[in-house]
Structure 1
Amino acid sequence: MFSMICGFVTNIVLDPLMIFGIGPFPTMGIRGAAIATVLGQFVSLAVYIIIYFVRPMPVKIKMSYMVPDKLMIKRLYSVGIPATLNMALPSLLISALNGILAEFSEKYVLVLGVYYKLQTFIYLSANGIIQGIRPLVGYNYGAGEHKRVDKIFKTAMKLTVSIMILGTILAWVIPYQLIGLFTANPETIKIGVTALRYISCGFAVSAVSVTCSGALEGLGKGMPSLFISLSRYVVIIIPAAYILSRFIDANGVWAAFVVAEFVTAIYAYITYKKNTKIESK
C-alpha cells in the first residue's frame, strides 16, 4: 500500500507540472500526463525494490525461479483469465446500457456514468475485503479446515453487507448532494436521484454475489466465479434493462439492476455451496 501511495502521489504532483509546464518542466499537455503516469509507476517499483532489500522477506527473487512450470502456469491462468474477464464485464455492461439509455436522452447516459463513479467508492471498499479473504479461504480450504472457511465466508458476508447497507443509506439520505458533485443541471440531478434510489435497493443483496465470486476465486475455481459475473453483468441485467425500458421508460434500466442483483444472489449462493461442499456441523 505504501509503495502504491508513493506512485500515486508522484503522479498527482507531476500531472499539473508536466501538463501546464510549471517550473523547470516544458508544457506537454496530454503527453505530460502520460509521462507522469509512467514515472509514478517507476517510483512504485523503486519503493518495492528498496523494501525487498531493506526488510527481510521469506520469498526471494532468483533466476532459477524464472523457468516455466506448465502446471503452475495452468493453475495461474485458470484463475487469472476468468478474473480478467470479470474486470472487463462492467465495461461491456455500460456500453450496452448506454445504447438503451441513448434512446431516451443523453442526460440518462450522463447519469449512468455518474452512478458508476459513485458506486466505485462502495464496491471498492467491499472488494478490499474480498481480496483479503481470498488467501485465507485458499489456505484453510487446502488444509482441510472447512469449518474455518465457512466462518471466514460468513464474516466476509457480514462485513460486505454492512458496507452495502451504508451505501444504501447514503443513497437515500443525501442523493442530491452525491449527484450534485458531478453536475449542476437540476433536471440531470433529478434523474440521477431517481436512478440512485432505484439501484441502491439492490446494494445489500449484491454482497452475496460479490462475496461468493471472490471466495470461489480464492479456492482456485475461476470458471464458476466467471459464470456468476456473467449472470450479474450480462445474462440477466441487459435483457431485463431492454424489456423493462419498454414498459417504464428509462427507469426500467435502473430497475433492471435490482432484478439482476436478486437473481444473481440466489444463483451465486447455490454455485458457491455446490463448488465448495463445506460440511456444516
Structure 2
Amino acid sequence: MGIKGAALATGIGQVLTLVIYIIAYLRYELPVKLSAKHKRPDGMIIAKMYSIGIPATLNLALPSLLISALNGILAAYSQSYVLVLGIYYKLQTFLYLPANGVIQGMRPVISFNYGAGEKERVKKIYRIVLYMTGVILAAGTIICALFPAKLIGLFTENADTIAIGKTALRLICIGFVISAVSVTSSGALEGLGMGIPSLMISLCRFIAIILPLAFFLCKLTGPTGVWNAFWITEVVTALISVFIYRFSVSRQKDLK
C-alpha cells in the first residue's frame, strides 16, 4: 500500500492503544478514576500545566531550529558538510535517547519527593541521575572517538564525506559528558515544576550560544568551526545550567 499503508498503520496503532487503555480501565482497579465532577476546568491547574508544558514543548522544538540554522551555515561550503551534520544527528539520537530516558524516569520521581517535602532525597536523585547520564554519554564519547569512520560509514561510502565526518565526530564528542550537567539540570527543573528556568538552559544550548558561536568560528576557521561550536557550547551551557539550577532551587524555601 506504500505511503497509505504507513498512514493506516499509524492510525491503527493509535486506535489500538486507546482500546487497550479502555479495556484496562474497565477491567482493573486503577488508582485514578475519571468522573464528571473532575471534568470542570480549573484555572490554577491549567495555568500550572501550561507553565510547564509550553517550555517543555519549546525544548523539543529547539533542536530542529538549530539543525536548520546550521544547515544554512554549512551549505555555503559544501553539501558534504550538511550531510555530515544530518548523520551526526541520527547518530546522537542513539546516545541521547537512553540519557533522556533516564531523565524521563527522574521527572516523576523527583516531583513526588519534592511534593512530599523530601528535600534531601531530591538532591540525591539529582546526583544519581547526573552520574547515570554521565556514564551513558561517556560511553558515547569513547565510541565516537575510537570509531568515527565506521560510524559515518554506516550512512555513506564517499571517502571525502567520511573524512569530514571523522573530524566532526571527534570534535563534537568532546562535549558529550559535559552536556550531562545541562541535560540533567533541565530535566530536574521540569520535574520540580520550573519550566521557565529549564527553557533558559535549552535556549542557551540550542540557540543563544551555539548559533552566534558557529557563525563566528566559521568566519575564522571555516566549516570546522561548527563542530568546535558544539563542545564549546556544552561547556558554557553546563556552567550556566549549574547557576540556573542552584538559583532556582534556592528560591524554593522547602528545598534550601
Q: Offset at 1:174?
A: 1.8
Task: Please say if 1:182 is aligned against 2:146.
Answer: no
Counterpart code for 2:8: I
Task: Please say if 1:225 is aligned against 2:198.
Answer: yes
Match of 2:231 among 230, 236, 258: 258
Aligned equivalents of 1:118, 1:54: Cα separation in 2: 42
Counterpart code for 2:88: Y
Q: Offset at 1:229?
A: 0.3
Task: Please say if 1:66 is aligned against 2:39.
Answer: yes
Match of 1:159 among 98, 108, 132: 132
Secondary structure of the 2:76 match is coil
- How far does the alpha carbon of each residue in 1:53-112 deviate from its partner, in whole angstroms, 9 at most, with x for none? 333210112233221111110010000000000000001001110000001100100111
Q: Counterparts of 1:136-155 in structure 2 under 5 Å?
A: 136-155=109-128
Q: Offset at 1:34?
A: 1.6
Tell me the residue number matched to 1:195. Answer: 168
Tell me the residue number matched to 1:120. Answer: 93
Task: Please say if 1:47 is aligned against 2:47.
Answer: no
Aligned equivalents of 1:128, 1:276: Cα separation in 2: 23
Aligned equivalents of 2:18, 2:162: Cα separation in 1: 42
Q: For structure 1, which segment, 143-152 or 216-225, has the greater mean C-alpha deviation from structure 2 after superposition?
A: 143-152
| Unpaired segments ≥5 residues, structure 1 | 1-17, 20-29
Taking only aligned residues, the RMSD between alpha carbons, in angstroms, comes to 1.1
Secondary structure of the 1:202 match is helix
Q: Counterparts of 1:22-101 in structure 2 under 5 Å?
A: 30-101=3-74
Counterpart code for 1:91: S
Tell me the residue number matched to 1:5. Answer: none
Aligned equivalents of 1:170, 1:231: Cα separation in 2: 27
Q: Say which structure, 1 or 2, has more relative contact order (CA 8 Å, 6+ apart).
A: 2
Aligned equivalents of 2:194, 2:114: Cα separation in 1: 12
Aligned equivalents of 1:72, 1:93: Cα separation in 2: 32
Q: Offset at 1:200?
A: 0.4
- How far does the alpha carbon of each residue in 1:189-215 deviate from its partner, in whole angstroms, 9 at most, with x for none? 111111111100000000000000000
Aligned equivalents of 1:272, 1:141: Cα separation in 2: 15
TM-score (norm 1): 0.87
Q: For structure 1, which segment, 37-46 or 121-130, has the greater mean C-alpha deviation from structure 2 after superposition?
A: 37-46
Q: Percent identity?
A: 55
- How far does the alpha carbon of each residue in 1:243-274 deviate from its partner, in whole angstroms, 9 at most, with x for none? 00111111100000011100000000111111
Match of 2:187 among 214, 217, 239: 214
Aligned equivalents of 1:169, 1:55: Cα separation in 2: 46
- How far does the alpha carbon of each residue in 1:217-263 deviate from its partner, in whole angstroms, 9 at most, with x for none? 00100000000000000000000000001111111000000111000
Counterpart code for 1:242: F
Q: Offset at 1:48?
A: 2.3
TM-score (norm 2): 0.95
Aligned equivalents of 2:201, 2:122: Cα separation in 1: 20
Aligned equivalents of 1:53, 1:188: Cα separation in 2: 56
Counterpart code for 1:191: I
Counterpart code for 2:7: A
Q: Offset at 1:188?
A: 0.9
Tell me the residue number matched to 1:23. Answer: none
| Unpaired segments ≥5 residues, structure 2 | none
